[in-house]
Amino acid sequence: MTRAFCFDLDGTITTTEILPCVASELGVSDEIATLTRATMDGLIDFESSFRLRCVVLGQVPPERVDAIVAHVPLNEAILSFIQAHRENAFIVTGNLDIWIRTIAERCGCEAFSSHATYEGSQLRLQKVLFKADAVAALRQRGFDEIVAIGDGANDVPMLSSADIAIAYGGVHPPAASARAAAQYIIHEGEALCRLLKAL
């Protein structure tokens, strides 16, 4: 049996949310954090919220975004697990490929993400990831068991389409919808990795 591990990024692999860190450059970190939390809880649909956040955060120069994201702390236990399973561990995030590439490089694994480009200094959002599509793509590659780990409402399609779903609350409590879609609820990185190794 071939198994794939699908990890949400913000608040799962990272120990803080990325977009509020970027928003601090514009002095709107509290506003973006509130919008991010409302989106995670399912009070606002992910795509509409993410497009709005991209409009705001697109004002931050790309080289500055790279510098900020490069210093976002990661959960060391989860990072070690991913690095030990580079061939079958995947980042699955609604965040932008051009914003999270330094973290993907640190993890050493493939990332499924939303896509955008810069035209000059203007951010152009091209595609917002629907997380269940990542699960479907991995099944097409031949993985016959998918383990999904996430914390927000936008993770529910991934959790619901996985064979094993884990709601993770390492940074903040997982959304009620994520808990409802999960077979397991874990609140600490080392405990999560022990479960993943025991499955």
pLDDT tens digits along 37-88? 888 888 889 888 889 888 888 888 889 999 999 999 999 999 999 999 999 9
pLDDT higher than threshold 80 for residue 1: no
Question: Higher-confidence residue: 52 or 191?
Answer: 191
pLDDT higher than threshold 90 for residue 120: no
At 189 the pLDDT is 97
pLDDT averaged over every residue in the chain: 94
At 85 the pLDDT is 98
pLDDT higher than threshold 90 for residue 35: no
- The residue with tokens 């991010």 is 36
At 169 the pLDDT is 95
pTM score of the predicted model: 0.94
Q: In CATH, which superfamily holds the domain spanning 3-15+73-198?
A: HAD superfamily/HAD-like (3.40.50.1000)
- The residue with tokens 């990024």 is 9
Mean pLDDT on 145-165: 97
Question: Higher-confidence residue: 55 or 141?
Answer: 141
Per-residue confidence band for 151, with pLDDT thresholds at 50, 70 and 90:
very high
Count of other CB atoms within 10 angstroms of residue 117: 13
Q: Which of 96, 111, 30 is nearest to 62 (CA)?
A: 96
Exposure pattern of 93-102 as b/e (b: 16+ CB <10 Å)? bbbbbbbbeb
At 59 the pLDDT is 87
pLDDT higher than threshold 90 for residue 111: yes
